A and B are shown apart, each in its own frame.
Chain A
Amino acid sequence: MGTIRVRFILVALAVSFFAVGMAAFLNYFKYKSTISNIVKSRVLVVGRNIENSVQASLAIGMQFTELQQLTQLMQREKSSDRLVRGIDVFDTSGQVIYSTDRARIGQKIPNPWVLAAERSKTTEWATDETDEYVAGISLKNAFDLTVGYLALRYSREEVERAAATAGREILLAALASFIGIAIVAPLALVVVIRRFERDLRTLEAAATHLEDRGPQPTTAGSAFDTAIGHLRASLKEANKSLDDLRAKLDSAS
């Protein structure tokens, strides 16, 4: 196989690898972000129920720090979805006021939670922890002032497991496609560059017989016909001149 053909095939493989790789990459990350969003919004549905309850209590004049039924409600909501590991309500300084986990009450939540909540342009916010995801809702009073934040901690496992399964399958599909291309592309390329290779072969054959004095191979139809014609004519002319010189030298002796 000619080296030029090999190089063309390598180009095809490199480009296919890039395209298939990017497609697999995009599909995987799209899947991961979609499943993350579905799971997050599912968790936030639970959060909305708590938010509604808090807002109703605030609307009738209760203090944010004195919502005695809130912990019970949070426990109930937590048990309604196995995905939710815990629910916390913290104030604007980051101190936990209510939690489904008693030990957390009074503790400070990690700073990135507050930052994520403050930076969010909507009432919903989210952040990643090493072993769990956090989705939250900013709790506002009737005057649209943020009084605190609701945080729902849920397992990464669900998303990671689903992403791993999908990732494996997308990777397999990508590999299969790439192998398919690796088989088909060289064949298709061979067909396409056939004429170019024929031109090169014609040229090479003509070059092999450049110095032959007898009839030379025909070159009709090649892109290099003119060039080959010029080559032959130039060499023929030079050889003829040297032949004449030879003849004159011979006749002189």
Chain B
Amino acid sequence: MLEKNYLWRIYWRLAGVIMVCVVIALAVVSYFSHRVFDRELVPETQHKAATVANSVRALMLKAIGYGVPFAELYGVEQTFGEVFEENPEFNYAAVTDLDGQLLFHRGKEPQGTREYFRSPVTLAVGLDPSASWKASKVGQQYFVSMPISANDKPLGMLHIGIDSKFVDNVLLELLLDVLVVLVVSLFFTLELLNFMAGARLASGLGEFAHQVERMRSGDFTATARIRANDEIGRLLRRIDAAIDHLNVRYEFLVGELDDKLRAALGARREALKPAMAQLESIRSRFRFGSASASVEGDEMNLNRIRAPLFAFILAEEMTRSYLPSYVNQLLVAIPGFSPQVVIGLPIMLFMLIVALGQPYLGSWSERVGRRRAMLIGASIATVGFAATALAFNLYDLLLWRSLCALGYAMVFVAAQGYVLDRTGQNNRAQGFALFIGAIMVATVCGPSIGGILADNIGYRLSFGVSAIMAMLSLLTIARLPTTEMRAVSTTKPARGPRLREIVALMLNRRFMTLTGLAAMPAKVILTGVCFYLVPLYIVSIGNTSAMAGRMLMVYAVMMVLIVPLSASLSDSSMRRDRYVSVGLIISGLSGLLLLLSDSFLVLFGVVFLLGLGQALSIAAQSALVAEHCQEEIRIYGHDAVYGVYRLLERLGNALGPLMASILVVLWGYQGAFIAISALVLVCGIAFTIATRGLDWQQTAVASP
């Protein structure tokens, strides 16, 4: 009917145009900022150069005071070297005599310097003992020149050269952040296109396509739907009108035939037989009248969940890059616990609450209604974020983060339920792709923007921004349909796994091969490395939270790019276990890179490989449960098996920061990276060996 991805092609074109406009605007802002920086920073740096020059001059005068001749001073170049080391914006320093002849110098001599030293204007400053300092520009270089005189007797001049590129360098540091803003803008564009226009457009065009299909199959039943007042809405109204007219005509003809039949006898009745046959033929081919009350429409529009979910998850994701550093700031000594372990506590507690809460919150959200559950969850999280921003110390922070975790679990589960309620077997994967898509985009945008905010406005205000974001998500949740749907395929309410089932499954070899060797280690390395080690390690080596955010962004971008590809490849090849094995081994090798070097580039490689490994294995992991645990699913039920699987997987989330923090205490940051990766590598190898056995292959073959 409509070309596949018709709307997405339009979105990408629109996003391209918007991005071009944004890039031009950013270039304009950067150009003007450069001008401001140049104009304002250069005089300030010249002041600083004068202060530094004053200090160096005092040192030289001290030596001269001890009787060392001016031209024979010792260690002047060394002093200049120390000055450059402490002040990277200075790249040339020199001492000249009263004729402008060079006595001492250090750094690359800029062009035209000698002429400047010998120029009468410069020499005049040197001859005036009362002169303080003079700023000049020689070519592209800024110079600060200061007279040196002892007992009112001029001796020469001291010159400090300021690197002409230092303003450019300052702005270059901004470039990475601006690039982050660009990437985030692109994702925001696509999300907003979907939220502000696409959701309605997609549902309108979908409705149109559905209507055409209905009419093709002969269904001309009228639907009493309120259409939006836009192009698609008007179009649908016209089709509705055409159908209404057909229905009126049909009803009129049927009524007329009935009347005639009632009044007709004998030959006249015989004459009506062709009309009756025609009516029968019409009835066999077409359907007229009113359409049965259908739930399809806005209430079934899955797209509407995307914006609230995105806004809410973004609020939490924004804290990822700086939460450990914030905890570090509020740290209080807890007897018997190392500070590293204490820093990991809030993350661990968060993950634990989400892990334990989710199985039970599923049935709760079903009872109270998905929309209401999301509203309650987002409200709790909003309070949690706001209170975290105002936290007094670690103890109350733990409480506020628990609120955030509870709210997160509620919203997550309710949103998942919302998708389940509105999808059947044929479109469930599509529904979850939309659900995961919103989360993925939030994980790309959140940590990087959060890091930038934390660096510039501080941790507390950044948590305030998260609270505002969670509040915004409340507004979008409130716009969700109030009518609750029930899952098309689910007949009994969802429930959390029972203890009996948990124990039985934990003793099951096949199930634990998947869960214990693949799912849990994958989560341990995710939370241990990405949520705990990366933010802390980056800050510990003198970098910023923004850099931690960029690193986490690399991980998220890898997931966004690779997961869809690996999911379709693993599905089509039906060798999901291979994808899990390779993914785990790559994840396991990631941290081992730090054995080579602790450089920043290597850390980038660690996060890159981790993202690649996780992206390869994550999609195939849960599908493997259905593939290899058919027997367990038959005995305990699908809900129980997947419930226990998710529970254990999320316990892995909680274990990650705990393990990482203990490893940091034992072996430092690098040791912790290496140890966690080695553990995952071992699990990956064990999983590979375990899944090569005949038993395993047979279960895979037996499964449909």
Which residues of A are interface residues toward B (Cβ below 8 A)? Answer: 2-4, 7-8, 10-12, 14-16, 18-20, 22-27, 29-31, 33-35, 38-39, 41-42, 45-46, 48-49, 80-81, 162, 165-166, 169-170, 172-174, 176-178, 180-181, 184-185, 188-189, 191-193, 196, 200, 203-204, 207-208, 210-211, 223-224, 226-227, 230-231, 233-235, 238-239, 241-242, 244-246, 248-249, 251-253
Contact = CB atoms under 8 A, between A and B. Distances in A.
A82 B55 CA distance: 15
Given A162-B44, A245-B253, A27 B282 contact: no
B223 interface: no
B371 to A, nearest CB: 24
A227 B2 contact: yes
A4 B29 contact: no
A35 B171 CA distance: 13
Q: B-side binding surface: helix, strand, loop or mixed? A: helix
Contacts of B13: 192-193
B296 interface: no
B230 interface: yes
B274 A248 contact: yes
B48 A210 contact: no
A45 B6 contact: no
A4 B230 contact: yes
Given A245-B275, A248-B275, A204 B33 contact: no
A248 B33 contact: no
13 contacts: A4-B230, A7-B197, A16-B25, A19-B26, A42-B47, A169-B36, A170-B33, A173-B31, A180-B28, A203-B235, A210-B242, A223-B3, A242-B249
Q: Which 9 A-B pairs have the closest CB atoms?
A: A173-B32, A29-B456, A7-B197, A234-B215, A207-B238, A248-B275, A42-B48, A27-B33, A177-B25
Interface string B438-460: 00000000000100100111000
Contacts of A196: 10
A11 B242 contact: no
B229 interface: yes
A241 B278 contact: yes
A244 B275 CA distance: 8
Given A7-B197, A16-B21, A49 B55 contact: yes
B239 A207 contact: yes
Given A2-B230, A189-B17, 15 more contacts: A4-B232, A8-B193, A27-B33, A46-B51, A170-B33, A176-B28, A177-B26, A200-B232, A227-B209, A234-B215, A241-B286, A245-B278, A248-B274, A248-B278, A249-B253
Contacts of B215: 230-231, 234-235, 238
Given A173-B29, A252-B268, A12 B18 contact: yes
B41 A34 contact: yes
A118 to B, nearest CB: 13
A16 B54 contact: no
Nearest to B33: A27
Contacts of A169: 32, 36
A94 B16 CA distance: 59
Given A11-B197, A196-B10, A252-B272, A27 B25 contact: no
A211 B239 CA distance: 9
A199 B156 CA distance: 80
Contacts of B48: 38-39, 41-42, 45
B192 interface: yes
Given A38-B41, A162-B44, A181-B25, A245 B282 contact: yes
